[in-house]
Structure 1
Amino acid sequence: MLTRRSFTALATMSVAAPFARPAQSQNASVLDSAFERLEQLHSIQVQRGDDLVYARAARGPGLDELANIKSCSKSIVALLLGTCIARGEISSHTARLADVAPALLPEDATEGAADITIENLVTLQAGLEGTSGSRYGGWIASGNWVADALRRPMIAEPGSRMIYSTGSTHILGAAMTEASGQSLLSLARQRLGDHMGFEIPPWVRDPQGYYLGGNEMALTPRAMLSLALLMRDDGTFRGTRIVPSDWIRASTISRGRSPYSGMGYGYGWFLTRSGYALARGYGGQVIAAHRDLGLAVAITSDPNRPARSGGYFGDLIDLLDNPILTFAEAA
């Protein structure tokens, strides 16, 4: 397995080698080498401006078949939230859960749950005990995922710190369904997929019929790249406005910080030190946009193997920061 240190050394050697090929070809060569060393890696696509400068699927279902994007779904829910606010279905990011979707609150909800705001949910700062990691199985086994998440103990002041929890995004997705009168699947199809030319199949629903907000959505890698372009281009896709630009800009302002990776976190998007807005899914699924350098990136990986910040996911960040970032310099 290629370590972060050895990969960085390889990338540096490749770029600095004498008699080297043009920079873009060197970058492609380093990415090709990554497939040989990173056994989890399925596909990489890189677009600079209007040009697809790298696209390869060495493993997995390929670029045109569905891949489970795991928690990249959280970032898509956040994009849809921007459309709900723009249409007045939700009054503001500061609206309280009790005002947006009071029917979701169980009678025995944790004290203070009613006052959790939409912003608290989309930034993963609801304050409630998380439902991810070791608690995920028990949460999914409950008879009511929304109510179970809202009964969790309050372990932090809402808005004070990031607590990674699929339960928070699921509450948000259910609130958007209540506010808009449409399922999360319908919102995703009508406001993203139909306009951008890709299909979104149904995915997991909870016992009450709400689509799981924040996990298990499937898209093709090409659709993932389209979403990266949407983020890169301030909410437009091929000249068509899809998501309000002010929401995209607000989404890429850090509102908190991941206790695991140290990355900033905006409205559903991780923010790297090198300037990417990034959706991250279990196993190493990545949708990334670098607005300033005109880059859009989609990466898929084995969805059944972990990708920790200090391990494989760190290797992917090295890919984003060295050969991929320098594609912009090869223009």
Structure 2
Amino acid sequence: MTTQQDMKELEAIINKDYGNTAGIVVLKDGEMQYEQYFNDCTAESRVHIYSVTKSIVSILIGIAMDKGFITDIDQKVLDFFPDYVPKQREKTIQNITLKHLLTMTAPYKYKIAPYVKYFTSDDMVTFTLDLLGGRGKPGQFRYAPLIGPDLLTGILKQAAGQSVFEFAQENLFIPLKITAERSIVFHSKEEQLAFNKATDISGWVSDPSGTNTGGWGLTLSAADMAKLGQLYLNGGLWNGKPIVSAEWISESTKEHSRWVKENLAYGYLWWLHEDGFAAMGDGGNVIYVNRKKNLTVAIASLFKPRAKDRIDFIQNYIESKFQ
């Protein structure tokens, strides 16, 4: 039984060591156990969840597979972009598959990511295709934070015949009553910097060509993030209705690759831990699921460089208080 003293202790730790927290939601056995907001945020606030966006893209790819829009994750990436002509005559790009993108095992030509060119590109998919391949070998883990995942949203857009935002609204957000109001196109660097700090912008970033970002760019509340974790813990069912197949959830949350340097196992755009899986984004944004404890924790955070590890925080301070 969680006591008021437990909550005081937890919030003292949050305020002391995790001061950029916007909101925390804890679900145990599907029931709300804790919901609290910080830094003048409320249940209505929406913050940029950074790389947690990737794991939501994984959910959407699974839904597209279930609906038959995508038939095989071993399909070649270039099959989805028949009009694209590689700039250089090379073989590597021909062999890269959807699964390579999902498991972060696709090679890229850049050593230092060309972020300025990326953020000012009108067509992030073509920009990324131009950087795909090179001398690297498909199958070796290479985490691509921003430049790379847009190929997945580009594939989803091509396969489903609608924008990723529209597909997500229809098949995920509306059924779960998740608020994401619009696609967002930046017109200046200042707009993007303001977006990163905002708590009142609801939506998903898109490039001018209409492709939503794959590795960042979605704003959500902690409560909405918790719903996505709970959906996976429920085996893809929401209020008894199937949203995404249990088979996809099982496959996407088992180890397919590993970041050896950090000793972290990776599924299909989900990080894995001993008892479950997690979506993680810059600043301390997390969706954390512990299957053994039937526990879902969501933390929305305002951006802060080198934020303290939220997985450690969850495992050391939250799991023990919500048995």
TM-score bracket for the superposition, by shorter chain length = 0.7 to 0.9
Aligned pairs for 1:274-289 (under 5 A) are 275-289=275-289
Structure 2 counterpart SS, 1:167? coil
In the TM superposition, what is the alpha-carbon distance from 1:231 to its structure 2 partner?
A: 1.6
Using the alignment, how far apart are the partners of 1:272 and 1:24 within structure 2? 28
Higher relative contact order (CA 8 A, sep 6+): 2
Amino acid in structure 1 at the alignment position of 2:239: R
Match of 2:301 in 1: 301
Amino acid in structure 2 at the alignment position of 1:52: M
CA contact (8 A) 1:30 1:323 kept: no
CA contact (8 A) 2:51 2:145 kept: no
Q: What whole-Å deviation, never above 9, does each CA across 1:199-222 have from its counterpart, x for those lacking one?
A: 222232223221112211112221
Match of 1:35 in 2: 14
Match of 2:125 in 1: 146
In the TM superposition, what is the alpha-carbon distance from 1:115 to its structure 2 partner?
A: 2.5
Match of 2:108 in 1: 128
Amino acid in structure 2 at the alignment position of 1:279: A
Match of 1:200 in 2: 180
In the TM superposition, what is the alpha-carbon distance from 1:87 to its structure 2 partner?
A: 1.3
Q: Aligned in 2, Cα 1:65/1:41: closer, same or farther, shift over 3 Å?
A: closer
Using the alignment, how far apart are the partners of 2:262 and 2:167 within structure 1? 30
Using the alignment, how far apart are the partners of 2:40 and 2:279 within structure 1? 20
In the TM superposition, what is the alpha-carbon distance from 1:264 to its structure 2 partner?
A: 1.1
Using the alignment, how far apart are the partners of 1:87 and 1:74 within structure 2? 20
Q: Aligned in 2, Cα 1:23/1:205: closer, same or farther, shift over 3 Å?
A: closer
Amino acid in structure 1 at the alignment position of 2:319: L
CA contact (8 A) 1:263 1:270 kept: yes
Match of 2:188 in 1: none
Match of 1:262 in 2: 263
In the TM superposition, what is the alpha-carbon distance from 1:148 to its structure 2 partner?
A: 2.1
Aligned pairs for 1:25-104 (under 5 A) are 27-37=6-16, 38-103=18-83
In the TM superposition, what is the alpha-carbon distance from 1:243 to its structure 2 partner?
A: 0.6
Structure 2 counterpart SS, 1:168? coil
- Structure 1, unpaired ranges of 5+: 1-21
- Structure 2, unpaired ranges of 5+: 184-203
Matched-pair identity in %: 26
**What TM-score do the two structures reach when normalised by structure 1?**
0.83
Aligned pairs for 1:242-261 (under 5 A) are 242-258=243-259, 261=262
Q: What whole-Å deviation, never above 9, does each CA across 1:127-180 have from its counterpart, x for those lacking one?
A: 11469x853333222343222222225252112223324232100110111111
CA contact (8 A) 1:130 1:163 kept: no
After alignment, is 26-35 or 79-88 more displaced? Answer: 26-35
Amino acid in structure 2 at the alignment position of 1:207: P
Q: Aligned in 2, Cα 1:26/1:149: closer, same or farther, shift over 3 Å?
A: same
In the TM superposition, what is the alpha-carbon distance from 1:49 to its structure 2 partner?
A: 0.7
Structure 2 counterpart SS, 1:102? coil
CA contact (8 A) 2:113 2:147 kept: no
Amino acid in structure 1 at the alignment position of 2:212: Y
After alignment, is 38-47 or 221-230 more displaced? Answer: 38-47
Cα RMSD after superposing both structures: 2.2
Using the alignment, how far apart are the partners of 2:267 and 2:110 within structure 1? 18
Structure 2 counterpart SS, 1:326? coil
Amino acid in structure 1 at the alignment position of 2:27: Q
What is the number of equivalent residue pairs in this alignment? 299
Using the alignment, how far apart are the partners of 1:24 and 1:271 within structure 2? 30
**Does residue 1:319 correspond to 2:313, yes or no?**
yes
Structure 1 counterpart SS, 2:114? helix
Using the alignment, how far apart are the partners of 1:48 and 1:129 within structure 2? 44
Which has a greater percent of helix? 1
Q: Aligned in 2, Cα 1:50/1:205: closer, same or farther, shift over 3 Å?
A: closer
In the TM superposition, what is the alpha-carbon distance from 1:233 to its structure 2 partner?
A: 1.4
Amino acid in structure 2 at the alignment position of 1:199: T
Using the alignment, how far apart are the partners of 2:110 and 2:219 within structure 1? 23
Using the alignment, how far apart are the partners of 1:258 and 1:302 within structure 2? 26
